[in-house]
Amino acid sequence: MKKYDNISWDEYFMGMAVLSALRSKDPNTKVGAVIVSPDNKVISIGYNGMPRLVDEEQLSWNKGEGLDSKYLYVCHAEFNAILNVQVGGTLKGATLYVTLFPCNECAKAVIQTGIKEIVYLDDKYATQINFQASRKMLELAGVKLRHFDGQSLDIKVKKNDN
């Protein structure tokens, strides 16, 4: 009988975040997020996309200028995962697994909901001011930040330019 090795919790949940990211229609940056309770139960999942009930065919996925910029419309994966929590659910003490380090706006939501740890796969915007602000706020709030290298899963995440 062949023995099978189990994957770690980190591998399992980050794998779910990567799979969730594939649901995104963003042509440049696909991001997925999974929120997990302290006892390793999935609380919620999200990916970056347009708001519900909005005809996304009427909005731009471009990086353009003015009203032609996706940045005005897209809900980030971690924000969607927070919003997808069932009524009465709590995020206090939870861990967020996310394929891209959160921006400053998502960091605020993470802090306000009581998430205590972020495990992230990529931090490609680390030099941008809003991501520096994110890291500063998260550290000041005592949110643990941990990079997941993805090599243990042989994750092949396409590194897109945004």
Q: List the Cα angle 78/80/82 in 5-degree steps.
A: 70
Catalytic, out of 57, 65, 78, 139: 78
C-alpha torsion sign, points 43, 9, 137, 161: negative
Task: Give the chain as a 3 state SS string.
Answer: CCCCCCCCHHHHHHHHHHHHHCCCCCCCCCCEEEEECCCCCEEEEEECECCCCCCHHHCCCCECCHHHEHHHCCECHHHHHHHCCCCCCCCCCCEEEEEECCCHHHHHHHHHHCCCEEEEEECCCCCCHHHHHHHHHHHHCCCEEEECCCHHHCCCCCCCCC
Does residue 65 carry a catalytic annotation?
no
Residue positions annotated with a catalytic role: 78
